[in-house]
Structure 1
Amino acid sequence: MLTPQPVAAVEVEHPLRERLSQKFKNYHLGCGPVIIDGFLNIDGDFASTGMQWKEEVVYVVDDRPMAHFLQYDLRKGIPALPGSLDVIYHSHLFEHLSDDEGIAFLEDCHRVLAPGGLMRLAVPDFGLWCTNYVDGKEAFFDWYRRTYLDDDRKRYATRGAVFAAMLFKWGHQMAYDFDALSGRLTAARFVDITRCEWGASPSLSLIPVVEAPSDDRRLESVVVECRKAH
């Protein structure tokens, strides 16, 4: 259970973006219950963290002085000044945005990153799902049914039923493979677009902890790193 302690209520005379940009250079967007030390962890869904957070108040979590959380609706835009961030991380967030929302979100990520700033993201790998479906990889669909669908073999009896549940059951609005992500990122003016392994990063030493080998999402994710041009 996360234990919140408010540390920085936003004052009227200090706009939110200005105040946060003075303190935080690394943002974890759509964090849910995964709180990364050294990042401002942001989520707009009270339920995902199991706590009642006050909006636009920064909290220290679990007595970890480097673990900060902000409850904030990212549909209002990323709360940071242009060119102020060094790193943006988000995992299994982007697929929950509509096509138009996703385009606007990537443009906003580009806006707030400093030149040379890094973004790392992970989403369900639509290409992997399609390949496993066509190739009849029953073990993959059995794993997903067992892990995420309460092993309900009556409702999700076939590969198609499991595939459809992944696409539509969790509020997903889009699906991406690496090529689709690369195209979206290129259109948003990101460069050095690179496919990465889950839990491994040439740039971020904390990734093996954040993307743990025990996390089941490693089996279905495409992970990408990219940068804002200098």
Structure 2
Amino acid sequence: MESATQLSSLSPVERCQAPAMNTLGFKVQFGCGLSAPEGWLNFDSSPTLRIQRLPLVGKALTRGRVRFPPTVRYGDVLRRLPLADESATHLYCSHVLEHLSLEDCRKALREGCRVLAPGGIFRGVLPDLELLARDYINDSRTDAALGFMTSSMLGRKRRGRGISGLASHVLGNSFHLWMWDFKSLTVELEAAGFHEVRRAVMGDSGEPAFSVVEDASRWTGCLGFQCCKR
């Protein structure tokens, strides 16, 4: 169970959710975006989500933006997910880690390890820096650098300005802040408390629960991983 101190650090919305999430056996996805299958606790920390869920004014303030499905809960993996320690048996993230700074990625992995029960499985997928770099090195075209910066989402073709540019920066998080290859990600996963880290391909977990959350279009040409908690 969460302690009073832990619950007091949560927002009112998070405190309302927390009591129902102090049991065991959850399947948890963080940074879910719009992919929020039934049977999973799907968390996202988008400011747009928080605004959309505001009573009365939420819809008006986010008019024109994509709406989050009702199966998405607000939860920030960089602060603390509203879950008890070791309450999840399955943990998943898809194209999340590359959007975090190095420091924040390490925080997210430690938080994931906190909520995962011993013997639980953590799977994820993200862009493969090694593959992108190899493709760039082997590309003899004059616009190879342009292709690399575009595919890696490390560059910006234009800079948003004015109020609309500021709003896009605050409400969105589409650019990549830190890229990973398998070797470096393995080091970080082990440092966070995971073990038996291996490369993964979609559907090779042996756990049917992951089949509803894994999307083939997100795995193609990317770096998949699987690990466990001791």
Task: Report the TM-score, using the length of structure 1 for normalisation.
Answer: 0.71
For residues 111 and 206 of structure 1, do their structure 2 counterparts lie closer, same or farther at Cα, with a shift above 3 Å needed? closer
Question: Where does 1:100-139 land on structure 2 (aligned, <5 Å)?
Answer: 100-136=103-139
- State which drifts further: 203-212 or 37-46: 203-212
For residues 137 and 21 of structure 1, do their structure 2 counterparts lie closer, same or farther at Cα, with a shift above 3 Å needed? farther
CA distance, structure 1, for counterparts of residue 25 and residue 17 of structure 2:
12
- State which drifts further: 24-33 or 129-138: 129-138
Larger relative contact order (Cα-Cα within 8 Å, sequence gap ≥ 6): 2
Question: Where does 1:46-85 land on structure 2 (aligned, <5 Å)?
Answer: 47=48, 52-54=52-54, 61=69, 68-85=71-88
Letter of the structure 2 residue corresponding to residue 102 of structure 1? C
Question: Where does 1:190-229 land on structure 2 (aligned, <5 Å)?
Answer: 190-197=194-201, 199-213=202-216, 215=217, 217-229=218-230
CA contact (8 A) 2:24 2:88 kept: no
Matched, 1:21 2:22: yes
For residues 208 and 26 of structure 1, do their structure 2 counterparts lie closer, same or farther at Cα, with a shift above 3 Å needed? closer
Task: Report the TM-score, using the length of structure 2 for normalisation.
Answer: 0.71
In the alignment, what sits opposite 2:145?
Answer: 160
In the alignment, what sits opposite 2:60?
Answer: none
CA contact (8 A) 2:124 2:224 kept: yes
Greater share of strand? 1
CA contact (8 A) 1:182 1:193 kept: yes
TM-superposed CA distance for 1:228, in Å, is: 0.4
For residues 82 and 207 of structure 1, do their structure 2 counterparts lie closer, same or farther at Cα, with a shift above 3 Å needed? closer
Q: What secondary structure sits across from 1:106 in the alignment? A: helix
CA contact (8 A) 2:24 2:86 kept: no
CA distance, structure 2, for counterparts of residue 25 and residue 167 of structure 1:
34
Q: What secondary structure sits across from 1:27 in the alignment? A: strand
For residues 18 and 117 of structure 1, do their structure 2 counterparts lie closer, same or farther at Cα, with a shift above 3 Å needed? farther
CA distance, structure 1, for counterparts of residue 39 and residue 187 of structure 2:
30
